[in-house]
């Protein structure tokens, strides 16, 4: 019997070896030294990056690029399994919420030497963008390719019917006590099932047909498209040492007051209950079906809102808050190189090209995202104008420098695991905003254990 | 059918009979050929089941972040589990799901099987009943997700017509698990009904004839004859569906992703989250091993309690 067991074992080992050998073939030897594999998740950006790859190959005949696109969720799990099995793409699109962890685990190649060697001018990018890709360890991990910010997308047929002017929409004020003129506008925009508006007598807040404000979720730890700007104009910061937070402030009264006001909109009938908002396919679908007066969202959603044919969508500025100005989160993507790539030079050449004005002009002209290179921005503005968008509200805070970064952190996944349920409990009235003090303690506990 | 007889081996033991003398050692002449025949299956079993299980067991005693080598840390992961409120919540949510899912599904499946058995044996009807099972899980989940949308979903539109206020199926923490369970009942009940239906066909007609002669009602016949004689098949169906039910993952992954709050963070989803979004592979392995143990115990208990090896028809 021992013989057969050994045979079995051998057979098992042999079988195990087959996939790993095959993986090696895919990863290294089958491709030439100049053939780079590049991943992105946004299908809307595939055409322009295909165009970029063509131009890149014309300029550098020794290199070529194969682009693969996977949806957001698949993208990250495939990437992680790629890291483990040594089959990750040479270059991939990185996100502020993900790359710090990959960098901490040694999966992203620092590009400082390449940047120094090739004298890459980091001054061509929008202010502050390039520095977002310097990790907590002080090394640079990517060159920025685009940026995004937030505004309100509003249903202009509803605002006209409510008698709200474009000027009023673009000069809203906000404070955490009474919500300022912003909340007055929401009242005017909200209509109950009998056609009474939120600021009219007899308004029935339990049977609302059109809510003034829509939202997609409770915002988790970043609140990027839900509460981040209210908290910021209330003078709140995510953490000590932004963006590489070592201590978070989710228990700060400036934050809990903001959230208390925000969820108060539900009680007032100006915003749907959390269960109802979460029970939808997504916030844009409901907006497209005429259920919301306005919804905050990021610039990357312009294409999606543009496809909503039943409603006429326009953009409004974020409100001015107690600190006396508007603020928006400014986040962006960058192209990063996998540390395990066997084609470092080719990969760097592609990253450098994507970070250049030549490539970003191509991206800008497609009118899908805002390019990171400042000089390419007018082309993007023109392209958006052609599809009927006046994107000024997105760009104003960026040009004025009134922006704050995405709360990047190598422990982002752990922070999210605490903050998402905590914020959901508050928004569904199962816990008070003061419960965030406890959540904040849990978050800081995680950070202190892992640092 | 009042007298119940046990299957021979159990009866022998219960009557204190001596165990059968050990069979003569068989010649090993066929061993080589036998090995060749079972080799392909064994290979698959070893590579895809035994090896991953052993490795998972090993990883459960380590701190392993996927991207750096595993570090042995003894029972730390198990110790953490005891104090992890998310883990206990996940177990609770999973049990709630299993109870609703299996309870509803088994009752409906037996009902459908009975209807088929008594009313029609048409192949077309069987095919239609099986249809939901042929649609991929993820597709089923997504289609229901759209149909159950609070504001634009067709189900809430229908409810509105009959004067019921819309229900936040996926968004309300009390409704989320019953909704997910309901979707999977819809998908699986036809398949389960067919299994039960097959079981019904093994019950000989003469017992029904006898019951009819004795003047038994349809209802009595079902409780006194059909169900007891169906028991071995039902136990098999229950064990298999319950193990599958504990492993609920895809519906949650494509719809609620654990929310609202922690209402649908079932154990498999929590394990997945820990392993692949939080890179806590050691801890995830430990939870997977505990789930394995729970499933083994549940299955054993079921087989024991329901005397699966014995038939009332002996």
Fold matches, A34-148+332-397 and A150-330+406-450 = yes
Q: Rounded CA gap, A327 and A324, in Å? A: 10
Contact flag A275-B152 (C-beta cutoff 8 Å): no
- Give counts: helices (H), strands (E), chain B: 15, 2
What pLDDT is stored for residue B13 in this prediction? 45
- List, for residues A201-252, the tens digit of each pLDDT value: 999 999 999 999 999 999 999 999 999 999 999 999 999 876 777 889 999 9
What pLDDT is stored for residue B314 in this prediction? 59
On the question of pLDDT at A112 being above 80, the answer is yes
Which two structure tokens, joined as six digits, stand for B103?
A: 């309870």
**Does A4 lie at the interface with B, CB-CB under 8 angstroms?**
yes
Measured between beta carbons, the chain B residues lying within 8 angstroms of A413 are: 277-279
Q: Rounded CA gap, B304 and B239, in Å? A: 11
> Residue B122: which pLDDT band, with cuts at 50, 70 and 90?
confident
Pick one of 3.40.50.300, 3.40.50.1110, 3.40.190.10, 1.10.3720.10 as the CATH number of A150-330+406-450: 3.40.190.10
Mean pLDDT of chain B: 86
What pLDDT is stored for residue B30 in this prediction? 84
What one-character-per-residue DSSP string does B255-314 give? TTTT-STTTT--HHHHHHIIIIIS--HHHHHHHHHHHHHHHHHHHHHHHHHTTTT--S--
> Regarding predicted confidence, which is higher, B26 or A137?
A137
CB pairs under 8 A between A and B: 105
On the question of pLDDT at A15 being above 90, the answer is no
Strands (E), A149-214: 150-155, 191-192, 208-213
On the question of pLDDT at A403 being above 70, the answer is yes
Three-state SS string over B211-262 comes to HHHCCCCHHHHHHHHHHHHHHHHHHHHHHHHHHHHHCCCHHHHHCCCCCCCC
Each domain of chain A, given as residue ranges in start order, spans: 34-148+332-397, 150-330+406-450
B130: which DSSP letter?
H
| Closest to A215 in 3D by CA, of A370, A424, A389, A407 | A424
In 3-state terms, what secondary structure has residue A144? strand
CB A254 within 8 A of CB A234: yes
What pLDDT is stored for residue B15 in this prediction? 47
- List, for residues B75-120, the tens digit of each pLDDT value: 889 998 998 889 999 999 999 999 999 999 999 999 999 998 888 8
- In this prediction, what percent of chain A has a pLDDT beyond 70? 93
> Regarding predicted confidence, which is higher, B306 or A345?
A345
What pLDDT is stored for residue A449 in this prediction? 78
- List, for residues A147-173, the tens digit of each pLDDT value: 999 999 999 999 999 999 999 999 999
**Does A211 lie at the interface with B, CB-CB under 8 angstroms?**
no
Helix runs in A41-175, H state only: 46-59, 72-85, 99-104, 112-117, 156-161, 166-170
CA distance to partner chain B, nearest, from residue A192 (Å): 14
Q: Rounded CA gap, A211 and A188, in Å? A: 10
Section A115-131 average pLDDT? 92
Strand A150-155 and strand A191-192: the pairing is unpaired
Cβ-count burial B196-222 (b if 16+ within 10 Å, e if not) = bbebbeebeeebeeebeeeebeeeebe
Topology (CATH level 3) of domain A34-148+332-397: D-Maltodextrin-Binding Protein; domain 2 (3.40.190)
| A289 → closest Cβ in B31, B151, B166 | B151
Sign of CA dihedral B200, B205, B206, B208: positive
**Does A204 lie at the interface with B, CB-CB under 8 angstroms?**
no
> Residue B184: which pLDDT band, with cuts at 50, 70 and 90?
very high
Q: Rounded CA gap, A57 and A195, in Å? A: 60
Q: Rounded CA gap, B9 and B309, in Å? A: 10
Task: List all residues of chain A from 398 to 427 with a beta carbon under 8 Å from chain B.
Answer: 413-414, 417, 420-421, 424-425
CA distance to partner chain B, nearest, from residue A433 (Å): 15
Region of B215 on the Ramachandran plot (φ > 0 left; ψ -120 to 50 alpha; else beta): left
Measured between beta carbons, the chain A residues lying within 8 angstroms of B260 are: 274-275, 278, 424, 428
Measured between beta carbons, the chain A residues lying within 8 angstroms of B278 are: 413-414, 417
Which two structure tokens, joined as six digits, stand for B114?
A: 């009975």
What pLDDT is stored for residue A190 in this prediction? 96
What pLDDT is stored for residue A238 in this prediction? 93
CB B225 within 8 A of CB B1: yes
- List, for residues A32-77, the tens digit of each pLDDT value: 888 999 999 998 899 999 999 999 999 999 999 999 999 988 899 8
Residue of B nearest to A19 (CA): B47
User: Looking at this predicted complex, what is its ipTM?
Assistant: 0.74
Section B284-298 average pLDDT? 93
Contact flag B149-A77 (C-beta cutoff 8 Å): no
Cβ-count burial A67-93 (b if 16+ within 10 Å, e if not) = bebeeeeebbebbbebbeeebbbbbbb
What pLDDT is stored for residue B308 in this prediction? 62
CA distance to partner chain B, nearest, from residue A90 (Å): 17
| Burial category of A308 from C-beta neighbours within 10 Å (exposed 0-12, middle 13-18, buried 19 and up) | middle
Residue B270 backbone phi and psi in degrees, to 5: -65, -40
Strand A143-148 and strand A292-298: the pairing is unpaired
Residue appearing with tokens 């993952």: B249
What one-character-per-residue DSSP string does A117-130 give? HTT--GGGBSTTTG
On the question of pLDDT at A434 being above 80, the answer is yes
Residue A445 backbone phi and psi in degrees, to 5: -60, -45
Inter-axis angle of helices B85-119 and B227-246, nearest 10: 140
What pLDDT is stored for residue A404 in this prediction? 93
Mean pLDDT of chain A: 90
Sorted by where each starts, the structural domains of chain B and their CATH numbers stand as 69-305 (1.10.3720.10)
**Does A71 lie at the interface with B, CB-CB under 8 angstroms?**
no
On the question of pLDDT at A23 being above 50, the answer is no
Q: Rounded CA gap, A127 and B192, in Å? A: 62
Chain B residues near any Cβ of chain A (below 8 Å):
31, 35, 39, 42-43, 46-47, 51, 65-68, 86, 145-146, 148-152, 166, 168-173, 175, 259-262, 273, 276-279
| B259 → closest Cβ in A11, A106, A424 | A424
| Closest to A301 in 3D by CA, of A384, A196, A242 | A384
On the question of pLDDT at A21 being above 50, the answer is no
Q: Rounded CA gap, B136 and B201, in Å? A: 29
């Amino acid at each position: 019997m021992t013989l057969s067991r050994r045979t079995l074992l051998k057979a098992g080992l042999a079988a195990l070896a087959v996939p790993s050998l095959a993986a090696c073939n895919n990863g290294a030897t089958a491709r030439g030294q100049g053939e780079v594999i590049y991943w992105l998740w946004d299908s809307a950006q595939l055409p322009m990056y295909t165009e970029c790859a063509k131009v890149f190959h014309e300029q550098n005949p020794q290199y070529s690029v194969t682009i693969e696109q996977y949806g957001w969720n698949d993208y990250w799990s495939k990437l992680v399994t790629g890291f483990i099995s040594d089959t990750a793409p040479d270059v991939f699109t990185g996100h502020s919420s993900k790359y710090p962890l990959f960098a901490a685990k040694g999966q992203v190649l620092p590009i400082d030497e390449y940047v120094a060697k090739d004298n890459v001018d980091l001054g061509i990018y929008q202010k502050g963008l390039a520095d977002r890709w310097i990790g907590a360890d002080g090394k640079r991990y990517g060159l920025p390719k685009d940026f995004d910010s937030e505004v309100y997308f509003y249903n202009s047929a509803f605002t006209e019917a409510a008698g709200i002017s474009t000027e009023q929409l673009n000069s809203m004020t906000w404070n955490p006590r009474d919500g300022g003129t912003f909340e007055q506008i929401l009242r005017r925009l909200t209509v109950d099932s009998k056609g009474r508006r939120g600021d009219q007598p007899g308004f029935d807040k339990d049977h609302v047909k059109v809510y003034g404000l829509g939202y997609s979720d409770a915002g988790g730890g970043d609140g990027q498209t839900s509460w981040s700007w209210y908290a910021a104009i209330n003078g709140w910061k995510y953490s000590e040492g932004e963006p590489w937070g070592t201590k978070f402030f989710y228990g700060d009264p400036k934050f809990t007051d903001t959230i208390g006001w925000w969820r108060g909109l539900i009680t007032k009938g100006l915003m749907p209950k959390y269960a109802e908002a979460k029970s939808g396919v997504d916030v844009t679908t409901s907006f497209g079906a005429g259920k919301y007066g306005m919804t905050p969202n990021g610039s990357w959603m312009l294409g999606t809102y543009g496809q909503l044919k039943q409603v006429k969508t326009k953009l409004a500025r974020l409100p001015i808050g107690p600190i006396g100005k508007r603020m928006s989160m400014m986040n962006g993507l960058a192209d990063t190189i996998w540390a395990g790539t066997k084609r470092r030079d080719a990969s760097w050449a592609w990253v450098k090209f994507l970070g250049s004005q030549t490539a970003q002009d191509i991206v800008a002209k497609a009118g899908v995202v805002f390019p990171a290179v400042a000089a390419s921005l007018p082309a993007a503005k023109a392209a958006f104008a052609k599809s009927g968008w006046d994107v000024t509200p997105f760009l104003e805070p960026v040009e004025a420098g009134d922006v704050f970064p995405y709360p990047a952190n190598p422990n982002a996944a752990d922070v999210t695991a605490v903050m998402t349920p905590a914020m959901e409990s508050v928004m569904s009235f199962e816990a008070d905003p003061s419960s965030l003090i406890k959540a904040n303690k849990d978050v800081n506990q995680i950070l202190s254990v892992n640092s | 059918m009042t007298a119940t007889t046990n299957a021979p081996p159990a009866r022998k033991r219960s009557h204190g009979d001596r165990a059968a003398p050990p069979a003569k050692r068989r010649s090993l002449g066929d061993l080589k050929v036998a090995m060749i025949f079972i080799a392909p299956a064994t290979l698959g079993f070893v590579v895809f089941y035994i090896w991953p299980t052993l490795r998972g067991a090993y990883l459960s005693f380590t701190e392993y972040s996927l991207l750096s080598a595993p570090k042995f840390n003894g029972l730390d992961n198990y110790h953490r589990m005891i104090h992890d409120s998310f883990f206990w919540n996940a177990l609770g949510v999973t049990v709630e799901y299993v109870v609703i899912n299996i309870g509803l599904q088994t009752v409906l499946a037996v009902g459908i099987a009975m209807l088929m058995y008594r009313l029609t044996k048409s192949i077309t009807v069987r095919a239609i009943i099986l249809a939901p099972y042929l649609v991929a899980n993820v597709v089923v989940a997504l289609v229901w997700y759209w149909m159950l949308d609070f504001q634009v979903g067709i189900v809430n539109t229908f409810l509105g017509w009959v004067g019921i206020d819309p229900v936040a199926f996926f968004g309300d923490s009390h409704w989320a698990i019953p909704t997910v369970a309901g979707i999977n009942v819809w998908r699986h009940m036809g398949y389960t009904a067919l299994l039960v239906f097959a079981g019904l066909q093994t019950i000989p007609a003469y017992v029904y004839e006898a019951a009819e002669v004795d003047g038994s009602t349809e209802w009595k016949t079902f409780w006194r004859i059909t169900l007891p004689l169906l028991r071995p098949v039902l136990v098999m169906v229950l064990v298999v569906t319950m193990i599958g039910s504990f492993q609920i993952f895809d519906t949650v992954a494509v719809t609620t992703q654990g929310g609202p709050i922690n209402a649908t963070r079932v154990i498999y989803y929590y394990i997945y989250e820990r392993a692949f979004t939080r890179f806590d592979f050691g801890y995830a392995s430990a939870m997977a091993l505990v789930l394995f143990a729970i499933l083994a115990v549940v299955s054993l208990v079921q087989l024991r309690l329901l005397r699966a090896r014995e038939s009332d028809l002996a």
